[in-house]
Amino acid sequence: MANSNLGTTKLHHVASIPDRLQLIAKQIDASVHDPWTATQARKIVAPPSGMPWAPGGPSEQEEVAKVFWYTKENIGYVQDPYGVDHYPTAKRTAQMGAEDCDGHSVYICSMLHSLGFLTGAKVISPDDEAWHIYALAGMDTKFNPTRRIALDTTQKASSPGWEPAMAYQRYCYECTFSNGRAYWKKVR
């Protein structure tokens, strides 16, 4: 364990993409159980100050878009130190104001999960070495989704639904996060 002015950090050794996905799932679960996350998620999707909530609240597409753009505009992208991967909770990511793709994924999945969405992630690589992760959210009914939307907030030109070109997805894992676990499959 290591201490910082932001609290205690646990150090883990991970040897594989599935190990990393399990750590991310634990951070999402810890975030969802922190009341701060639900409060933050509701602030993000709330109507502008002074405006009433629409009957029935915002649509799924509006909620996902608001979380996506809030994250992209308020959580900077910085890489972790060489040879080290940080897996912060959503609150820690907000406190730091910047994170890499792991932190962005934890933040988005935590916010959307707090709003009732089924969330997951896609982990891709062009060469089986340089890996990238981004969030996925279930759509067309939160609780029983019929499709997933990609949410990669780390790329300058991205918007909800955008994904890197297939050349960057030569190696690919997909997962769903539920109750602190990552249920993953290797796609290619």
Cβ atoms of 171 and 141 closer than 8 Å: no
- In three-state secondary structure terms, 74 is helix
Q: Predicted confidence band at 109 (pLDDT cuts at 50, 70, 90)?
A: very high
Q: Predicted confidence band at 6 (pLDDT cuts at 50, 70, 90)?
A: low
Structure token digits, residue 127 = 């060469």
Q: What angle do CA 73, 74, 76 make, to 5 degrees?
A: 90
Task: Say what the pTM is.
Answer: 0.91
- Alpha helices by DSSP H, 17-100: 17-32, 35-45, 60-74, 90-96
Q: How far apart are CA 134 and CA 145, in angstroms?
A: 18
Q: How far apart are CA 172 and CA 83, in angstroms?
A: 21
The single-letter code of the amino acid at 152 is D
> What CATH number labels 27-48+58-186?
3.10.620.30
- Predicted confidence (pLDDT) per residue in 128-177, tens digit: 988 999 999 999 887 788 899 999 999 999 999 999 999 999 999 999 99
